[in-house]
Chains A and B, each alone.
Chain A
Amino acid sequence: MAKMIICASCGAEFDADQVRCPYCGTAYAPAEKEEYDEKIEELSKSERKDIRSAKRYRGLGRRAAILIALVIGIIVMSVVSSYNYADHDNEEAVRRDSEKNADTYATEMDTYLERGDYVECVSFMYAHEIWTAYSTEFDRFRCVKHVARCYYECIHHMERIVLRSTDGEYFDKLDTDISNFCMYLDEFYEVFEAQRESEKDPKYLAYMKDMEEELKIAMKAYFDMDDAEVAEFLDLSQAKKGVRLEEVFGRE
């Protein structure tokens, strides 16, 4: 007796030799495979090879397409991100410009220093990212630039102290400004002592000394001190300097 099969679709019973259910036409899987094998047998050898090869590599093309789409997406997003960041953060471009025009910029820095416009010189260095430029043109400023930066910070914070609002309704940051000034003043002297030992060029050494002199004069002019008081003030610790300045500005 022939093996009977129950159709998965309609539930009818039919002979296993049949390819499809005689009632609803649903294919019987083992029979389908036989049908396929029969068809394959009928094909030529090269056609069979083509079909098997296509079967074997089915899915690789789809994977390659997904991969290409992902790579394109990554490239597009990277370009967009770079554009968004680069548009606002042009530090690297400024640095490259400084490297390119190092000769001109170094001359300009010398002009500021000759004029005694040390604050302007430091501003120029910040604006052109000269602190991190590698050009050898800037090597000659390696000592003076550190002293100038501390001088710049001292002047900046003295300005904040002197030109603060005296309006009681305005938020007063005098304590912070005094504290910052004292910190930068101590740093100035540390850097000044260290760099003047290293500076070989008398011209730049003279600028450093001039900055030191100007700071002392500024303290005399703005903090109502004489030479002895300035000397005494400079010998104080950072905290005591702060207390002394708060006394000067009528806080204690």
Chain B
Amino acid sequence: MNKKAKIFMNILIVIASLVFIISLVDMAGSFDYVKKQEEKAADDSFISVFEYKLSHKAYNDILETYYVKRLNGMEAPEGYENIWNVAEYSHYAFMAHIYEAKGDKDRLDACAAKLEVLRNGLGDYKTAASDVDEAIRNAP
């Protein structure tokens, strides 16, 4: 009986050891995951990247960041306020041109009001609004 119990305990210890190792690997992976998330957030929030895109008038890539971040929330994450404002302005300016062509006065007025608010909130990035307006005017 005692021999059987010891064999059974040994089997349990072997199984538990295997689970222990798997858990250890999983836990190590979870720390890597946290580290990567932090690095990714740090990379994305580098204002210099935004400045670089802005200096090349790459509003498409600024909008891309906005669309990606919006998958997780409707509000601008911390540090993304400027990117958010410029991207929102770009999007609504793009839509306003469609509403104008469509002759939808209600939506155009709503869009214009929103653009006005966004433009006033751009601060140091007001030139971005002019760039976007120009790009839309000159399309294609």
Interface residue ranges, A against B (CB under 8 Å)? 56-57, 59-60, 63-64, 66-67, 70-71, 73-74, 77-78, 80-81, 83-85, 87-88, 115-116, 119, 123-124, 126-127, 155-156, 158-167, 169-170, 173, 177, 213-214, 217-218, 220-224, 248-250
Q: For window 49-86 of chain B, which residues contact chain A by CB distance below 8 Å?
A: 53, 56-61, 63-64, 67, 70-74
CB contacts (< 8 Å) of A87 on chain B: these are: 34
Known contacts A74-B20, A126-B71, A163-B60; A81 and B90 CB within 8 A of each other: no
Cross-chain contact A60 with B9 (CB below 8 angstroms) = yes
Decide if A63 touches B9 in the complex (CB within 8 Å).
yes
B7 smallest CB distance to A (angstroms):
10
Cα distance, A248 to B6, chains bound together (Å): 80
Contact between chains at B23 and A74 (CB < 8 Å) = yes
Residue among B17, B53, B140 having the largest count of chain A Cβ atoms under 10 Å: B140
Q: Are A115 and B110 in contact (CB under 8 A)?
A: yes
Q: Is A217 a contact of B102 with CB atoms below 8 Å?
A: yes
Given contacts A70-B16, A74-B16, contact A217 B91 (CB under 8 A): no
Please, what's the 1-or-0 string for B89-109, where 1 marks a CB less than 8 Å from any CB in chain A?
011001101100110100100
Consensus secondary structure, chain B interface: helix
Cα(A127)–Cα(B68), bound, Å: 10
Whether A165 and B107, one on each chain, are in contact in the complex, defined by CB atoms closer than 8 angstroms, is no
Q: Which residues of B contact A (CB under 8 A)?
A: 2, 5-6, 9-10, 12-13, 16-17, 19-20, 23-24, 26-27, 29-31, 33-34, 37, 53, 56-61, 63-64, 67, 70-74, 90-91, 94-95, 97-98, 101-102, 104, 107, 110, 132, 135-136, 139-140
- Can you pick out 12 interface pairs between chain A and chain B where the beta carbons lie within 8 Å of each other? A70-B16, A70-B17, A74-B20, A80-B30, A88-B33, A116-B104, A119-B91, A127-B70, A166-B57, A167-B57, A170-B58, A177-B60
Determine which of A66, A160, A221, A222 lies in contact with B64 in the assembled complex, contact meaning CB atoms within 8 Å.
A160
Least CB distance from B61 to A in Å reads 8
Question: Contact between B16 and A159 (Cβ–Cβ < 8 Å)?
Answer: no
B residues less than 8 Å from A248 (CB atoms)? 140
